[in-house]
Structure formats: C-alpha cells, structure tokens
Structure 1
C-alpha cells in the first residue's frame, strides 16, 4: 500500500493537510478529536500499530497501512503503538475521502486497502472459532508471515519481541495463563520454538 500513502502525500494531486509525527511504544492513536467533531486517518511510515476495540486487538497494521479507513459502528476503534517507535502521517478523514473520490487511482487504492483489512478481520474471526491450540498456532503463523524476521534457518521465522504474551493474549482473547499453557503445548508438539522472550514459528 506504499502507493496509497504516496498518493495521499502527493501535493500535485489535490493537496490535503498532513502532519508527520513520531510516537513511542504504548502511545494511543485516537480516531476522533476531543470534541468528536473531526475524524482522523493515520498512515504508517515506520513501525507496528495494534488496531484495538476497547481492550481487544482486532488486527495489526504495519508500514504503508492505515488506521481509520476501516470503520465499524459496533467497534470503538483506536490504535496503540507496539514497536519501540513509529512514524505516522496524520490526515483528516474528510480530506482523504475528498481526494480519493476525485481520482480514479485514489479510489482503486482506497478500495484495495479496505478489502485487505476486511480480509484480515474476516480471517481472524474464522480463526477465533477454533480451539485454543489451533487459534494460537494460526495466529502466530499469520503474524510471522506479515511481520516475522527471517533467520538463517529457512524453515523458522522469529516473531518480533514486541508481540509479547500480553499482546498475543489481547489478540486471541485468551487469558495470559492459559496462553502460556497453550504455547508450552505447541512447543512440546514441535509446532513452535518457545522461550522466555522469543517465539519461533515453523513455516
């Protein structure tokens, strides 16, 4: 989705207001201003952001993805920085939609982004219907495929350290103690390599 962020930042095509900001781990990205009169969109230039509804994590967003374009009236969405730092571009939603609807290319890029997010949310919803072992294993494989760090051994991928047990617990909606038991079970069955601060997933 690099093209979409580049499109929004291109001042030669219907220029809109934007603000580049740097955030630290744990900081929140609120989709409304304090008066709830302005809605915001955040484009991620560097870092990882959790898309949360209250205390439950709906999805994880990485470089060139957006928070604020996927809308669901039933979810009170906000973002939280997972990585040590994140570089974020902040836009007003009305400006983004005006620019998108004025250009065919923008509309195509917007639709692709929304479809990708919807696909991730639907996939997660299906995974959450499984038993805890399969739920955790498939969630780890999804995270590994999108954000994992490849090692010299090509059959395993390291889950980045900022995907802590607390983060995984919020994502899978499994209590932390139960999650630890599930991770130990997957380790004993050679599905993952699991230590105090590292999770390696076989691919």
Structure 2
C-alpha cells in the first residue's frame, strides 16, 4: 500500500507532471491517432495575418509548427509571443467560448495545424492524459502572466533588459558562442515597446546604452544579445 502511495505521489507531483506533460508532448498527444484520432489541416499564414481576433468565437485549435505569433490585447498591447509547439485555442474548453486575445503572425511565414475544437475537447476531457496536458498548459499560461506582471513593475532600463533576456532566450537563435543569442528578427522595436508598455524612444535609448555596455551587438537585419551580461545586469546570473 505504501509503495502504491509513494508511486502515485511521484507520478503526480507538480514537477513530474510538468515534465511528463510538456507543451511539445501535448502537441504529440493531439496528433497521435490511437485514441480519439484527430484530422488536422496544415495552413499557412503570412506576416500580419490574423489567426484569431479578440472576442471571436473559438471554433478551431491551432498548433504552431513553425513561425512566431504575437498575442495582443486591445490591439496596442502585446502580452506574449508564441512559437513552435505552442497551442492556440485551448485555454477555455467550453464550446462557444470567445478569445480573450488576438493572435497575429509576425514571422514572414507561419505554419500551423488546424483542428476542429469540438474534436480537441472530446479528446482532452475523455482521457486522463488530456486532463494533465490541459492542466500543464494552464499552469504555463499562469506562469507567463506572472512573469509579465513582474516585468511591468520594473524601472524602464531593467524592464527592457529583462524583456530582451526573456524574448531572446525563448525565441532567439543560438550561436557558436553560448552567451550570444541572435534576437528574433520577427520582434522589432515597436513590438518590444508594446510588450514592455514603454515609449519607442525609450526602447531606442536603452538599446543604445546596452550596446555601449557590450550587452548588445548590432548586426545586419537585427542584433545579438549577450545573455550572460544581461543576467549580471539584472542580478540573475546562473
């Protein structure tokens, strides 16, 4: 009996659930054809195309295969960014629910697999795995919200530095230097301003300051960030 309890505690503790039911595995779960098989359709969007608008009834679920998406609230505010393996449309499983945000393609090309929401909900609510995948998805959404709240409480320079660190780490391209990351080209200064709720001129001034501190290096069509120096600046060195 004790062994069974210990096994259940290990299997279902928060850390193990997060690892076992991660977003990439959630995607695999949706695409597997053994239980409640789904029929998805590949769809391409291009830069500035709208995938889902704020207030729109969510009738489909979208799994991002490649490309980047900006998640907007009230048009002018960017609350988050999505990339490969992120899933749009499963935050609220109620049929007929409306989207609380809008989702817009910001990369030159965005490839998604589109599913009927009714089929997704059937698969999620009728399987134990589906319950845990949705639980972890909601936990990740909450963590992103708290991370954003923390960011918006910081002074301007720290706020921008942390935004560069978060966005560069999550969406940038690795280089041969483990400390250098190419900042995603699809996220421009205007988007950084909307994400940090700051004036574009403030963004420009802080980027110049970071460049003078050798935390940022201009490059053709974008820039590189030194994540180690940004961590030091923010008191977050690993």
TM-score > 0.5 by shorter chain: yes
CA offsets per residue over residues 130-156 of structure 1, 9 Å max, x none? 011111110110111111112222221
Residue number in structure 2 paired with 1:42 = 62
Task: Give TM-score, length-normalised by structure 1.
Answer: 0.87
Tell which structure's C-alpha radius of gyration is larger. 2
What is the DSSP-based 3-state SS (H/G/I as helix, E as strand, rest coil) of the residue aligned with 1:146?
Answer: helix
Unaligned runs of 5+ in 1: none
The aligned length equals: 200
How big is the shift at 1:104?
0.8
Q: Distance in 2 between matches of 1:132 and 1:39?
A: 39
Equivalent residues in 2 for 1:22-171, closer than 5 Å: 22-30=44-52, 38-53=58-73, 54-70=75-91, 76-171=100-195
Residue number in structure 1 paired with 2:13 = none
Task: Give TM-score, length-normalised by structure 2.
Answer: 0.75
Determine which of 17, 24, 27 is the counterpart of 1:5.
Answer: 27
Cα RMSD, aligned residues only: 2.4
Q: Distance in 2 between matches of 1:131 and 1:107?
A: 39
Q: Does 1:184 align with 2:205?
A: no
- TM superposition outliers: structure 1 runs of 4+ over 4 Å: none
How big is the shift at 1:37?
5.1
Unaligned runs of 5+ in 2: 1-22, 228-238
User: In proportion to residue count, which structure has more helix?
Assistant: 2
CA offsets per residue over residues 84-134 of structure 1, 9 Å max, x none? 111112223343222101111111112112211221121011111101111
